[in-house]
């Protein structure tokens, strides 16, 4: 495996897959991407259970550590709207929203703590293989940044539903729908343009800069 995806759910996985294919400008890259969490069962073509609690449990597990050993890079995706449940505050002492960079750093620290709770120092030893894709405040905000008329980081799923799409594209929490919604990200120029509007997407792409993809 070149990339393994550990995400909140299958809709996030397919969107991240399309982003990777677009960023590295290689449509064949999808054959080298494996869905780790929620896991995908090839035999019955179904995904296992997702959600952020199971993602954190996975990060502390032997399965995660084995996946890191057997994968070139593991992408960890999570939405920042769960921050207060971890808990990581969204706001400072004056009630102002934290800057995206600071919120992402704080959530990343919680993810690292979960990884190291399973094996002390594991993250530090394998940090070059673990890449964070922390969406502020949800992955839907990346889609809104491309499809929407105005940028927002709040209630992005609801905002996405107000966008007028061709009749064959529908906004629904299903993998195939998010595959359609994220198809524009298969073109690198669309991805770079969208990242210029969204800080969390820009930071994710920046984390990919050091990676060279060769499928030979």
Taking residues 189-209, what's their average pLDDT? 98
Domain assignment of residue 173, given as a range: 3-207
pTM: 0.95
For residue 24, being part of any structural domain is answered with yes
For residue 141, being part of any structural domain is answered with yes
For residue 216, being part of any structural domain is answered with no
At 214, is the pLDDT very low, low, confident or very high (cuts 50, 70, 90)?
confident
User: Is-contact 10 176, C-beta < 8 A?
Assistant: no
- Order of strands, sheet of 130-135, starting from the edge strand that comes earlier in the sequence: 33-37, 3-6, 73-79, 130-135
pLDDT at 43 over 60: no
**How many independent structural domains does the chain possess?**
1
For residue 157, being part of any structural domain is answered with yes
Query: pLDDT, tens digit, for every residue of 114-134?
Result: 999 999 999 999 999 999 999
What is the DSSP-derived secondary structure letter of residue 94?
T
DSSP secondary structure string for all residues of 174-199:
SHHHHHHHTGGGGSHHHHHHHHTT-H
For residue 212, being part of any structural domain is answered with no
Q: What is the pLDDT of residue 196?
A: 97
For residue 213, being part of any structural domain is answered with no
Three-state DSSP class for 3? strand
Q: What is the pLDDT of residue 24?
A: 97
For residue 198, being part of any structural domain is answered with yes
């Amino acid at each position: 495996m070149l990339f393994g995806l550990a995400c909140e759910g299958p809709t996030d996985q397919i969107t991240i897959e399309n982003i990777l294919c677009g960023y590295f400008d290689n449509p064949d890259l999808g054959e080298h991407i494996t869905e780790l969490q929620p896991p995908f069962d090839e035999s019955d073509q179904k995904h296992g259970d997702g959600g952020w609690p199971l993602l954190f449990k996975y990060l502390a597990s032997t399965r995660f550590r084995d996946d890191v050993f057997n994968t070139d890079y593991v992408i960890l995706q999570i939405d920042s709207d769960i921050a207060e449940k971890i808990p990581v505050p969204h706001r400072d002492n004056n009630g102002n929203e934290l800057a995206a960079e600071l919120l992402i750093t704080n959530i990343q620290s919680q993810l690292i703590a979960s990884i190291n709770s399973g094996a002390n120092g594991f993250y530090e030893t394998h940090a070059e293989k673990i890449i964070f894709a922390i969406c502020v405040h949800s992955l839907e905000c990346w889609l809104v940044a491309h499809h929407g008329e105005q940028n927002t980081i709040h209630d992005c799923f609801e905002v996405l539903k107000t966008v007028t799409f061709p009749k064959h594209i529908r906004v629904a929490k299903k993998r195939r729908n998010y595959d359609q919604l994220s198809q524009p990200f298969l073109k690198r120029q669309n991805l770079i343009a969208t990242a210029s509007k969204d800080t969390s997407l820009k930071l994710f792409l920046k984390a990919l800069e050091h990676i060279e993809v060769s499928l030979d």
